[in-house]
Structure formats: structure tokens, C-alpha cells
Structure 1
Amino acid sequence: MRRTGSRLTPARHDYGVSAEIGYKRDANGNRVSSKKQWQLHRLRREHRRARYGSKAERNLAHALQEIARMSSALDLPRSVVEEASQVYRQAQHRDLIRGRSIEMMAAGSLYAACRCRGLQRRPGEIGSVARCTADQLRTGYRALKVDMEIEPQIVTARTYVPRLASDCRVTSEVNARAYELADLADRDRITNGRNPAGVAAACLYLAGNERGSAKTQAEFAAAADVTVSTLRARYYELRERA
């Protein structure tokens, strides 16, 4: 006996095992009559009504749709979508959703999945496509991290350099030099207690100055989602040790 169809996935509330009723063509690709189309329409309506067995299952479906929507807007891989969906499922099983909005916990689950995989996605970046604020996202993430003992990967300045370099369209020489400076910052513990994105932006700005780039502090700060004063403080620290 062999199963056909798409694979099982936690990104669907029913793991993808439910059937879908077609519209104008049958299984052989032949067009159905207008009478049969009305029958299919009624079947689809009853199928939608019977799809969710409880209010919790309906809320789960809504949350998973939110995770898929945000992931699509951020161009995240499917593996992250499935991990975020699994995190949300576990949170619902532990009754962590009660008293909190579905959108907030869905965004927090997506951010937790990104942190566990070491992806450079800031709360503000996910919050820009979420139906909640970045502060609410952080609140949801903290609830998940404490109650579910999530262990995120450590994100260093080096992990931010390639993406910021691509966003700011710097040359390969500036990118390579910034990576060396980020490695120096990690070794000398300049990044301890500081925003790694701000350190990476300072590395790119210093590397650009050394290579004659015309990029400004404001451009790198905006790409890293930090203030210009933060970038400038990290820049002075790097310049003393470079």
C-alpha cells in the first residue's frame, strides 16, 4: 500500500491530509456540467464548515496561515516555516496562547525559529510584515523562550556582514575587509553586550572609508536598523583596534 499526494507538514493544521474539492474539471481533466459545478460548490461549502473540529483547531489554522504569510513576505525557506509552525503547536499544547493574541504568538514563533537557525532577522523586520508591533513580538518570543526553554544560536557580527553588504551594494573588497574587521571585533569581544548588527554596520563603514567608498553612516545604520550614534560608537572602538 502506497500513499500519494503531498507530504505531511506541520505547516498545515491537519498536516496536509485533508482533500480539496475541484471546480470545473474532474480527475481526468474533463470539464464538468453546470449542474455538477453547483453540486461541487455545495460540497466545498460543507467541506469548509466541517474542516475544523474545534475552535482551537480553527485558531491553529489561522496562526499557521499567518506564519506562512510572514515567511513568504520575508522570503524565508520552507524549513523555517515548518519549524515555526511546530513551535506554535507546542505553545498551544502548553496553553501559552491563552490570554495572548494569535498574531503576536505566531510572529514570536517565527522569530524563535529564525533565532534557532541563526538567521539574521531582526524583530523590527518581522514586525514590519506581522499584524502586531515589534514590542509585542518580543513579548511573545520571551514567553516562548522562558516556558519552552528555547535555545537560540548566538548571532555574531560576522553573520550580519554579507547581508548588510548586499543591501548597501558595497564592493567585494569592502565586503572582504568588513568581514576581517567583524572577525577582529568578535575575537576582541567588542561585540559583547552590543547589537551585532550595529557592529557589522560599523565594520562596513570603516572598511568603506579605507577603500574610498562614498557610503554614509546613515545608509549603513538604516540597513542595520540601528541609530547613527550607535554605529559611530562602534566605529570609534573598531578604529582604535584595527
Structure 2
Amino acid sequence: MIGLASRHPKTRTHRESGLGAARYVCSACSSTDVYIDSARGEVICANCGLVLSDHSIDMGPEWRAFTADEQNARQRVGGPNDWSKFDQGLTTIIGRQNVDASGRKLSSTRRAQIHRLRKWQIRTKVHSSDKRNLAVAMTELHRISSQLSIPYSIRETSAVIYRKALRKRLTRGRTILGMVAASLYLACRVHQVPRPLEEIVEQIHITRKELSLCVRLILRYLNLKIPHSNPIEFVHRFGTELNLPGEAKKKAIDILKKAREQRLTIGKDPKGMAAAAIYVASILTGSRRTQLEIARTARVTEVTVRNRYKEMVERLGISTM
């Protein structure tokens, strides 16, 4: 019953508590100075003592936490969906301990029943062809991601792309491995952390032609917005593999920026442009690397490095002598 209430100093809380006391206005005196009796669930006017609300529900947590770690430890909700798991990490499994809630061992009859339940649980999780396809695909995705040191965010994007392709029946007539690899390649492009097609092909042992066909198929039917590859994105990675100093990497980036201003990068393979810029920068900074070393690292031919190098020094007026 709403009416006058006595103030209780022990239950008075800050007006910006989880109940949102600041939104209350007293109907008797128009005061906004209210406090909350958390024990009774009442919002009380501090000016005249009128109970503005009773049986209030606190939507916040019921514990006290003084640090972020304490708050996380007390949360009762799980993490976000894991798209790279075929069941999104939402299902539970029957444990293999063969004990009851009190820790006592189950009887032989009960163990046999639980064993059958486990088998049926596994069967029902992959009861359809799409589920089986997804289970195999996500396993392959984890394997390839580990081999290529792909971060979690890119792996999740790749899983989402594959799921969309599966829903549109794009996987029919294509190998699971090829579609997984294509999804991973496109996810890297989306996150602007490009990986050369050749590098992915080396890890999964499919042909470049098959991978390219799968990539084009996904692009055609899923309408993905893929940013163009920027040669600068390859510089740090190639430079690290070649053990180049930071000065040489910075110089290569400056060269590529000038080349882009001169429109030299249009229609050229980004890997070839990055390789040529690294070659020029290594000469200018005294940390020279051979064309063969750079070509192998960038997975292009020496001829490509040489041709891009000649174009750069001529158009940008760079002297490497």
C-alpha cells in the first residue's frame, strides 16, 4: 500500500542506483529528491516521506562487486555465440564421469542407459546433411586457422560467410575444403589482413584454380563488400619475414604512398608492388635483400619484382646507384 513511510538511514542509497531513482517526481510536493529502501523495494520522497513506488524490481545484479574481475566472476551468463563451432557453442553434452549428483557411481544398468543417451545425443546433433557438412567444415576451419595463425575475429567472420554460403546451397558441387578456404581468404580481405591465395593453397593442398572458383562463387551470390587489397598491407609481414629493420619498412611504405599518388598501383598485383617497394627500400637503407629472396617471400616471380622495380625508379625518380 502506498502512503507515508518513515526514513530508514541504513537502507538509504544513492539516487543513481539500479532502480533509477532520479526518474521519480513526488506527486505531493513535486520534489525529485528521492531515496530507495532496498530492503522493502520502496522508492520514498526524501522531502515529505511519500512512498512513490513499492515492490520495485531491481534489474541490476544482486551482488556487490568492487572490481571488473569480481563483476565478471559473478555473472551468470555465458559468452557470445561462437560461430566457428557448428552448434555455436550452445549445446551441452552428457558427462562421462558415470556418477550421480552426490558423486556415487552409477549401477551397471544405469551406465548402459547413459551410454545409449550419449550416442543418441551425438547422432541428433548431426542428423541432417547440412549439419554434417557444417561439422566437418568448422573442424577444417579450426585446423587451417591454426596453421595460418589466423586470429579469432577473422575465423568468426569466415564461419559466418561459410554458413551463408551453405544456406544458399553454394556448397553443392564444391569441396568443403575449397569453400572453407575461400571463406577464410575473403574474411582476411574483409578485415584488411590479406593472405595471398598461394599461401592458403600451400597449407590445404588444393589447386589455385579450385580456390579461385570458390572465391568468385561466394562473391557473386553473397554480395560481399570486399575492400581492394592495398600493397602497404603486405609490407610489414614481408619485411618481418625478411628480417628487415623498421627503417626499411617505413621507407617501403613511403615509396608505395608516392606510387599510389602517381597511380602506379592501378591494375598491378599488390604483392608485386609491395615486393618491389621492399627491394628499393632495402637498397636505399643499406639492408639489401636479393630479388630472389623477396620474390620467394612475396610468392611472386623475380620477373615481377624486376618489372615493378624498374617502373618505380623511373616514374618516381629514385636513384638506387
| TM-score, length-scaled by structure 2 | 0.69
The residue number in structure 2 matching 1:145 is 219
User: C-alpha displacement at 1:183, in angstroms?
Assistant: 1.0
The 1:4–1:138 alpha-carbon spacing in structure 2 relative to 1, beyond 3 Å, is same
Identity %: 33
Give the Å deviation of 1:7: 3.0
Query: Cα–Cα, structure 1 residues 45 and 231, in superposed 2: closer, same or farther, change >3 Å?
Result: same
Distance 1:127 1:110 in 2: 12
Greater radius of gyration (CA):
2
Q: Is the 8 A contact 2:279 2:288 kept in 1?
A: no
Higher mean C-alpha displacement, 68-77 vs 20-29: 20-29
Deviation readout 1:27-55 (Å, 9 max, x if unpaired): 98969679587766554333222211311
- The residue aligned with 1:112 is 186
Identify the structure with the greater helix proportion: 1
Structure 1 contact 24–31 (Cα < 8 Å) conserved: no
Q: Name which structure has the greater RCO, CA cutoff 8 Å, separation 6+.
A: 1
**Corresponding position of 1:53:** 127
Matches within 5 A, 1:159-238: 159-238=233-312
1:132 is aligned to 2:206: yes
Q: Give the equivalent residue in structure 2 for 1:16.
A: 89
Please give the alpha-carbon distance, in whole angstroms, between the structure 2 residues aligned to 1:205 and 1:148: 38
Between the aligned partners of 2:227 and 2:253, the Cα distance in structure 1 is 19
Contact in 1 for aligned 2:181/2:200 (Cα 8 Å): yes
Q: Please, which runs of 5 or more residues in structure 2 have no aligned partner?
A: 1-58, 60-74
**How many pairs are equivalent?**
242
CA distance in 2, matches of 1:166, 1:142: 31
Q: Give the drift of 1:24.
A: 3.9
Residues 171-206 of structure 1 show CA distances to partners (whole Å, capped at 9, x for unaligned) of 122111111111111111111111111111111111
Residues of 1 paired with 2:128 and 2:171: CA distance? 16
Q: 1:30 to 1:153 in 2, by over 3 A?
A: farther
Distance 1:34 1:197, change over 3 A: farther
Backbone CA RMSD of aligned residues: 2.6
**Which deviates further from its counterpart, 65-74 or 231-240?**
65-74
Structure 2: distance between partners of 1:31 and 1:161: 61
Kindly tell me: are residues 30 and 151 of structure 1, through their superposed partners in 2, closer, same or farther at Cα, counting changes over 3 Å? same
Q: Which runs of 5+ in 1 are unaligned?
A: none
Q: How far apart in 1 are the matches of 2:77 and 2:98?
A: 20
Over 3 Å counting, the alpha-carbon distance change for 1:64 and 1:183 in structure 2 is same
| In structure 1, distance between residues paired with 2:280 and 2:99 | 63
